[in-house]
Amino acid sequence: AQRVTQPEKLLSVFKGAPVELKCNYSYSGSPELFWYVQYSRQRLQLLLRHISRESIKGFTADLNKGETSFHLKKPFAQEEDSAMYYCALSTQIQGAQKLVFGQGTRLTINP
Amino acid sequence: NAGVTQTPKFQVLKTGQSMTLQCAQDMNHNSMYWYRQDPGMGLRLIYYSASEGTTDKGEVPNGYNVSRLNKREFSLRLESAAPSQTSVYFCASSPGAGYTFGSGTRLTVV
């Protein structure tokens, strides 16, 4: 079965410090992974997709198939990074792309 | 472009009442989805529609029904609301890779 685990419900760091949000997955096939971000009372937005290997808002994430992880990193946190972050695993089912989400990590950046 | 539009934004229901959450997308996406978001549980898939005319159950379908009215619209119906259905509901659409989410409906069942 597909599963995504985000072990930290809450993460608090100081502005300027490095940030790492952990994500581990369980999937027997070739995984396609995403990070979504939800700012306060807003809709979820796509932050990163592992296939694109882009850096968005200073965030990067590398897929490690050996450790089945897709951790999100940023070298210097900013206050505007405070938000809820969800890791998600994509699976194809009957012509649709189904996303399985982790439980989410609430990131708070302290001034 | 509006993207994915959900109505209403907020709703309070009494136990046993029924209601329909509306979702429409203007991006010509084939697939549409309904998720619920609960603290500590992330987002869980209720129902999805791979294409116009098809619907399938997701992870937590009990107590819900859906209708894919046309390619643009995908509605979620609660026939007899229960307090356990208090949640934030998100609709999403996808062309096949990556979702676009609506702004959500915050539903409280008392």
Find the closest chain B residue to A48 by CA distance. Answer: B98
Find the closest chain B residue to A102 by CA distance. Answer: B42
Q: Which residue, chain included where needed, has tokens 């009990």?
A: B62
CA distance A83 to A85: 6
Name the maximum alpha-carbon separation found in chain A.
Answer: 47
What's the pLDDT tens digit per position in B29-73? 999 999 999 988 889 999 999 999 899 999 999 999 999 989 999
Q: Is A2 helix (H, G, I), strand (E, B) or coil?
A: coil
Contact A99 B99 (CB under 8 A): yes
* pLDDT band at residue A91 using 50, 70 and 90 as cut-offs: confident
pLDDT reported for residue B1: 60
pLDDT reported for residue B43: 93
Q: Is A81 helix (H, G, I), strand (E, B) or coil?
A: helix
Q: Is the pLDDT of residue A12 over 90?
A: yes
Q: Quick one: average pLDDT of A54-70?
A: 89
What's the pLDDT tens digit per position in A15-48? 999 999 999 999 988 889 999 999 998 889 999 8
